[in-house]
Amino acid sequence: MSPKARAVSLFVIVACFTVLIFGGAQISKHKPPIPARAVAPSGEVVFTAEDVALGQRQYLSRGGQQTGSVWGHGAYLAPDWSADALHRTGLVTAGMKRGLAPADAARFTQADLTALPAGERGRVEAEVAEELRQNRYDPATDTLTLSPGQVAAYPALVAYYTQLFRDGNDPMSIPAGFVPDAADAKAITAFFFWTAWAAGTNRPGETFTYTANFPFDPLVGNGPLPSSLVWSIVSMVLLILGTALAIFYYLRLRAKDPEHHVKIAPLQEPKPTPSQRAALPYFAVAIILFILQAALGSLTGHFAVEGNKLFGIDLGMLLPYAATRGWHLQLAVFWIATCWLATGLFIGPAVAGGHEPKGQKALVWTLLGALVVVVVGALAGTYLGVRGKLSGPNGWLVGNQGYEYIELGRVWQVALIAGMLLWLFLVYRAIKPALKAEQDRGGLTHLLLYASVSIPLFYSVGLFYTPGTHIAVADYWRWWVVHLWVENFFEVFATVALAFILSKIGAVGERSATRATHFSILLYLGAGIIGTFHHLYFTGSPLFITALGATFSALEIVPLTLLGFEVYENLKLARSGGNATPWKWPLYFFVAVAFWNAVGAGVLGFLINPPIVLYYAQGLNTTPIHSHGALFGVYGFLAIALMLFSMRNIVRTAAWSDRLLEIAFWGLNAGLAGMIVLSLLPAGIYQLVIAVREGLWYARSPEVTGSAFIHAVTWARVLPDVVFVGGALALLGFVLRAIVLDVKLRRADPAGGEAATVRKAA
């Protein structure tokens, strides 16, 4: 790598992080205030900051974003509590504008509002918006004076949410006794009410709310801002321009390299080091976790049909939706990360030409044991938190932190970081000789080290907040982990790992692989770092965050448009040796990565990324369309591809089964495609149409989420789910068969038959 190219890459990364950190500082500075006290016009205290903080901690400890959502982030079955509380407050205020007494106004419904003559309804809605959008917060006294409608609405909300969490609700998958203590329910109401106040009250000196008028609700005057439309248009223009430039530079880059004639060397019987063989159990554990995750995904989806029941059996608090969804998301991270960590353990000695430091095998086994303890502890803590067994002030340390993908308690989070640091140490000590031998600090071995360092580094950002941190600030740091760690730096690690593997098998030249890797990393990080902001349009952020998020999230799609070239090139590689090539199915899984990167992350991601679309779509089933296509379609298949490349170099050739991999490949791809096309996409579009017409409050109401249409498309998931699980079981069968046969073959023939060539596997 030339000094000029290294300087450009370093400048881009530093500049992007500078913008990201500056944006975070502005989010913290301009976050919606939590008043020390909220009072009625008479001066009577309605709730305090302590009530809001307690309610936030209680909500998060019981699963938080797995039970409904706040400001659009969270689960999709129960209501968005911010939108729900805001609309209910608007209805009570509307009742008072009709001249009703507060007690009677609390019973004013949407049906009553709809029944009004058009002119009268227009007057009422205008007066409701005028009252609720006025900002009555006084920073000098840290006091919020509530409007008459808000004062009347608050006790009605307390009564409603207390009963809801005590008695449960099947369409929302909230079991009876979910929050049995009335004081806890009252505190949670204070938190919901405050998020609704921030969503419906104008920022000082502005004509839009703290959440940029999100969620859409005509009753309270919330509608999309012109800037959302403007930056959506700008993002589309930048996408077209960026794509054209990226293709130009991609083809120019390829033209600079000498023609590389693919000549994949025949695979000899693998002679792995002891630590490389010790990586095999990681893959078995990972795929078992994958099977469990897939099963929990089917169960979680089924809750949309029967609420708290499974084919008539009331699971209630025994296995609540919040627990199964939390496990489903955590296991996705756990099994994918396990595959990638195991790949790093395999590649270390491979980079060093078979060199293995003393004690490496024992440390690899130690790390596996530590990871199992963390996974079991995290899942148990998540469950106990949802069940209310760890909902005290310090319960989050081992219980449930309540944020999507990072639900695991702080103790398990720290333990996982410690495990990653041990993994980094193992990778470093294995590749240390190769690092010394590689003169270019931008070479593949050095890139592998940099990518490995980034994995524990960026996951540790999740320590920067607690359940008591202001939710706008907590969400900022959370997306550092979910977006930067998962979508960027694991992508960087995988890109480097695959470049190394492909260069070693002769599929690409090392110089070409290095240059292409640098180009990919620059594109991913140059757009992806600042692109983190596209998750924060409506989470109490300043308006300029929308501009940055919209433009750079569009540029994130640019490298994905190049994946058509990658699909073509890797299909050529996979077919170059005919059906007997030892790399056929590992390469086919990498083809799936490229395909789903373009479709799941690219097409389906851009479907919801523009601000004007996300304004209506955030919090709807449009998001799972993208998340399933991207999280499993990209990172899941990538984990499997890395696993297969590693296992191909570890297990004996006679232990390999192309037939099982063929079943797994087509089952997983067909199941995922069917899940999206038959279920998630129709449900998402159906909700989106309703959200554009009525508002998020209604699109997330039981009348919609429990409608006949949603039930029908949820049942339509059964067949693709069965196909998908069948593919997953075939993959598990392949891994277990390969490990068991490899052990038997090595016991029978320890020498390994070095001259044996690859034969067509069973």
Kindly state the average pLDDT of the residues 512-538: 84
Do 62 and 197 fall into the same domain?
yes
For the segment 66-84, what is each residue's pLDDT rounded down to a tens digit? 999 999 999 998 999 999 9
- pLDDT reading at 241 higher than 80: yes
Q: Residue 372 belongs to what domain range?
A: 272-437
- The answer, yes or no, to whether residue 577 has pLDDT greater than 80, is no
pLDDT band at 232 (very low <50, low <70, confident <90, very high): very high
pLDDT reading at 370 higher than 90: yes
According to the model, what pLDDT value does residue 740 have? 96
Whether residues 288 and 208 fall in one domain = no
Tens digit of each residue's pLDDT (9 = 90 or more) over 666-681: 999 999 999 999 999 9
Is the pLDDT at 659 greater than 90? The verdict is yes
Q: Would you say residue 753 has pLDDT above 50?
A: no
293 with 385, same domain: the answer is yes
pLDDT in tens, 280-322: 999 999 999 999 999 999 999 888 888 888 887 887 778 899 9
Average pLDDT in the 520-546 region? 90
Residue 522: inside a domain: no
Q: Which of 4-13, 260-269, 389-398 has the lowest mean pLDDT?
A: 260-269
User: What's the mean pLDDT in 653-658?
Assistant: 93
Kindly report the number of other CB atoms within 10 A of residue 22's CB atom: 11
Q: Which of 661, 621, 635 is nearest to 761 (CA)?
A: 661
Cα Rg of the chain, angstroms = 27
Q: What is the mean pLDDT of the chain?
A: 89
Rounded mean pLDDT of 371-396?
92
Angle (nearest 5°) at CA 409 between 403 and 414: 110
Domain match, 177 and 290 both: no
Q: How far apart are CA 206 and CA 626, in angstroms?
A: 33
Q: What is the pLDDT of residue 571?
A: 67
Q: In the predicted model, is pLDDT for residue 58 greater than 50?
A: yes
- Please check the confidence at residue 101 and state whether its pLDDT lies above 50: yes
Instruction: Tell the burial category of 435 from Cβ atoms under 10 Å away from its Cβ (0-12, 13-18, 19+).
Output: middle
Q: Are 83 and 198 members of one domain?
A: yes
* Average pLDDT, integer, range 569-574: 66
Tokens at residue 556, please? 């994130």
**Domain match, 209 and 299 both:** no
523 within some domain: no
Q: Check if the beta carbon of residue 758 is closer than 8 Å to that of residue 266.
A: yes
- Residue 448 pLDDT greater than 90, yes or no: no
pLDDT in tens, 418-430: 999 999 999 999 9
Residues 337 and 428 in one domain: yes
Last residue of a domain, one of 380, 413, 437: 437
User: Contact 732/287 with Cβ under 8 angstroms?
Assistant: yes
Q: Please give the pLDDT value at position 762.
A: 31
Report the pLDDT value the prediction gives residue 756, as an integer from 0 to 100.
36
278 and 366 co-located in one domain: yes
Residue 226 exposed, middle or buried by CB count within 10 Å (0-12, 13-18, 19+): exposed
Q: Does the structure show a pLDDT above 80 at 94?
A: yes
Give the percent of the chain with pLDDT over 90.
Answer: 66
Contact 349, 273 (CB under 8 A): yes
Q: Is residue 252 part of a domain?
A: no
Q: What is the pLDDT of residue 57?
A: 95
According to the model, what pLDDT value does residue 755 have?
Answer: 33
Q: Identify whether residues 320 and 204 lie together within a single domain.
A: no
Mean pLDDT, rounded, for 506-516: 70
Q: Assess whether 729 and 664 both reside in one domain.
A: yes
Q: Which of residues 437, 457, 485 is at a domain's end? A: 437
Confidence check: pLDDT of 759 > 60: no
Here the CATH number for the domain that contains residue 296 is 1.20.210.10
Given a cut of 50, whether residue 754 has pLDDT beyond it is no
pLDDT attached to residue 761: 32
**CA pair distance 573, 433, nearest whole angstrom:** 31
| Mean local confidence (pLDDT), 583-596 | 85
* Closest of 573, 22, 639 to residue 263, by C-alpha: 573
| Same domain assignment for residues 196 and 276 | no
Amino acid at position 676, single letter: I
What mean pLDDT comes out for the span 446-452? 87
- Position 631 confidence tier, pLDDT thresholds 50, 70, 90: confident
Which of residues 437, 459, 479 is at a domain's end?
437
pLDDT at 8: 82
571 vs 109, which has greater pLDDT? 109
Domain for residue 705, yes or no?
Answer: yes
Instruction: Check pLDDT > 70 for residue 641.
Output: yes
Looking at the domain assignment, is residue 315 inside a domain?
yes
Q: pLDDT above 70 covers what percent of the chain?
A: 93
Domain for residue 433, yes or no? yes
Residues 6+ apart with CB under 8 A from 201: 132, 133, 134, 135, 137, 209, 210
Confirm whether 450 is domain-assigned: no
Do residues 87 and 410 lie in contact, with contact meaning Cβ atoms separated by under 8 Å? no
Banded pLDDT at 600 (limits 50, 70, 90):
confident
The pLDDT, as a whole number, for residue 757 is: 33
* 622 domain-assigned: no
Q: Among 119-128, 530-539, 653-662, 744-753, name the one with the lowest average pLDDT.
A: 744-753
Domain count, the chain: 3
**pLDDT top residue among 757 and 20:** 20
What's the pLDDT score for residue 497?
78
State the pLDDT at residue 574. Answer: 62
Which pTM value belongs to this model?
0.91
Mean pLDDT of 120-126: 96
Above 80 in pLDDT, residue 360? yes
More confident residue, 21 or 562: 21
Contact call for residues 762 and 659 (beta carbons, < 8 A): yes
**What pLDDT is stored for residue 463 in this prediction?**
95
- Which of 116-125, 290-299, 648-657, 742-751 bottoms out in mean pLDDT, i.e. has the lowest? 742-751
- Please tell me whether residues 210 and 276 are part of one structural domain: no
Q: What's the pLDDT at 2?
A: 66
Q: Does the pLDDT of residue 262 top 60, yes or no? A: no
Predicted confidence (pLDDT) at residue 612 exceeds the cutoff of 90? yes
